[in-house]
Amino acid sequence: MIPGYYKRPDLTARMIVDGWLFTGDLGYVDEDGFLFMVDRRKDLIIRGGVNVYPRDIEEVLVQHPAVVEAAVFGVPDARWGEIPVAAVVLRETVPPDTLKVWANEHIATNKF
């Protein structure tokens, strides 16, 4: 289930076509079957009327010593319209709460 799309066939029809979920991410699968994300169709998240650029958050997240790579994308939210969510590749295991606390100390609160 995709939050924000439940009982919204109009939105679902735009996001799911022929069984494929269109997230706005652009990428390719190589000859070995590895998926590579290379860009986004939409580089803006509007959170409660505030423009949030995923790249701004990604650039901060990769400064954490345990983070190799970060991708931030928007997901629908009932209160804010859309909120940013991060997927990170880690060098080493770090408790999620530790990373969240660090991110809250380094990223402007209006971006969460």
**For 22-57, how does the pLDDT look when each residue is reduced to its tens digit (9 = 90+)?**
777 788 999 999 998 887 777 789 898 888 999 999
**DSSP 8-state class, residue 99:** H
Is pTM beyond 0.95? Reply is: no
Superfamily for the 44-112 domain: ANL, C-terminal domain (3.30.300.30)
Residue 30 backbone dihedrals phi, psi, to 5 degrees? -80, 180
State which fold the 1-41 domain adopts.
Answer: Luciferase; domain 3 (2.30.38)
Is the Cα torsion angle 4, 6, 8, 10 positive or negative in sign? positive
Specify the 3-state DSSP secondary structure of 38.
strand
88 close to 14: Cβ distance less than 8 angstroms? no
The domain spans of the chain are 1-41, 44-112
